[in-house]
Amino acid sequence: MTSAGPLSTDLTAAVRQVLPWARSGLERLVRIPSVSADPAAAAHVRSSATEVAALLREAGMPEVDVLAAEDGRPAVVGRRPGPPGAPTVLLYAHHDVQPAGAGWDSDPFEPVLRGERLYGRGAADDKAGVAVHLAAVRAHGSELPVGVTVLVEGEEEIGSPTISRFLARYADRVRADVVVLADSENLTVDVPALTTSLRGGANLVVEVRTLRHGVHSGMYGGAVPDALTALCRLLATLHDERGDVAVAGLARGGAAPVDLSEEQLRADSGLLDGVALTGTGSLAQRLWARPAIAVIGIDAPAVDAAANMLVPAARAKVSLRVAPGDDAARACAALAAHLETHAPWGARVTVAPARTIAPFSVRTGGAAYRAAHAALAEAWRRPAVDIGVGGSIAFVTAYAQLVPDAEILITGVEDPDTRAHGANEGLHLALFERACLAEALLLRNLAAVR
């Protein structure tokens, strides 16, 4: 399915020619603070969708619409028919982003080049995925060898709450033989990867209450339990002394046999010297195939404003990642049951209902999978590896239910130092160029898939 002759040379040159335009489009998108989690940013999310639509038209897509399910954020769908008998390929990305947060070295919504990386919120996750699709389509010009539909979602960062309704409503527009998601990562900057498994997930909010009202910590402390201490003790029961998840009933899956380096993991994650890694088993198992739990937020008095008072109630948001093969709803219920039954001192615990995202395992070995490996190897000049990823993408399972026969390929523009969701998110530009070329080559390769 590969060609080492003039066609590959011409396509490489075409990708390089469109790269400045694709990067300019990416920078235009990064400047729009399309934070789907912030109701006050709704106008920015709409502006981002409008800009994506304009870029798709510039890329040569003749049919482009901004669409949404009821109560959903705006998505963009662009379509371009292929030659008679050619397969249809759906290219997926999302234009919404995480909140900026603190700790940035520059304005998160002003793209800045430092060294080999372009920094900005969404510069990688996942506005770069949009730019990869734009570059791949435009590089083929009028000779696009397959039918292409581009779907750019606007609510992935909040778990895609309306994606199932969206896909059902616009099923005729988004049906395809092959789906390519540019929303994952590579093993390193220099080693390309296909993602073959994703963990599922849910965020649960737990509230602990011990008092009807706050009371003087000196007069009552020592006999009367406060809610914040009770919450801390409850959260501490979620892991054992080795750092493994201690919630009964959570399944463990199998990981791809990839040898990950502890030294590299420590460097990529920014782990402080002397801080131990948690859990047991191989790093691939811990990161990709086992459940993970983290406390990602607490509602309690701020340190600078805290009174000498026993806190009557406190809340925490707990992030659950579910192993491939597990049932996300059942796993979420197991975590809720653990929280409700492990509270110290009879503290009252309430767990709010949570919406879950199912884990997903890709069917490997098919014609599109082989075409993707060939394209990645040609673009990177080295073989790609299959990896798991610990994150979740709700679109994947929703689409697989709608079109079960479609081959799904999960690629990406990220690397371990991208810092997606964190401060100083950045896109490695050499990797970006290879990702654009790989997708252009993949579209060529998929023309032979029937």
Residue spans of the domains in the chain: they are 6-198+359-446, 200-253+285-357
Q: Are 157 and 36 in contact (CB under 8 A)?
A: yes
Query: Comparing C-alpha atoms, which of 164, 138, 192, 170 is closest to residue 14?
Result: 138
Q: Cβ(137)–Cβ(80) under 8 Å?
A: yes
Pairing of the two strands 88-94 and 147-153: parallel
96 is catalytic: yes
Considering only the top CATH level, what class is 200-253+285-357?
Answer: alpha beta
Q: What six digits make up the tokens of 23?
A: 């990067």
Residue 138 tokens, joined: 């435009």
Predicted local distance difference test score (pLDDT) of residue 134? 98
Contact 443, 89 (CB under 8 A): yes
Residues in the chain, how many? 450
- Render pLDDT for 396-446 as a digit per residue (tens, 0 to 9): 999 999 999 999 999 999 999 999 999 999 999 999 999 999 999 999 999
Residue 35 — very low, low, confident or very high, per pLDDT cuts 50/70/90?
A: very high
Question: Given this chain, do its domains 6-198+359-446 and 200-253+285-357 carry the same CATH topology?
Answer: no
Question: Which one from 155, 156, 157, 414 is the annotated catalytic residue?
Answer: 156
- Alpha-carbon distance of 91 to 29, in angstroms, equals 18
Provide mean pLDDT across the span 9-27: 96
Give the residues across from 313 on adjacent strands. 209
Task: Decide if pLDDT at 261 tops 50.
Answer: yes
> How far apart are alpha carbons 391 and 381 in whole angstroms?
27
* Active-site pick, 27, 51, 96, 226: 96
Q: What pLDDT is stored for residue 449 in this prediction?
A: 80
Residue in the structure block whose two tokens are 């990688």: 124
d(CA 366, CA 360): 17
User: What DSSP character marks residue 303?
Assistant: G
The reply to whether 153 belongs to the active site is: no
Instruction: Please say whether the beta carbons of 112 and 106 come within 8 A.
Output: yes
Radius of gyration of the chain (CA): 23
- Nearest in space to 438 (alpha carbons), one of 182, 256, 79, 174: 182
**pLDDT value at position 450?**
66
Architecture category of domain 6-198+359-446 in CATH: 3-Layer(aba) Sandwich (3.40)
Judged by DSSP in three states, 282 sits in coil
Is residue 214 within 8 A of residue 221, CB to CB? The reply is: no
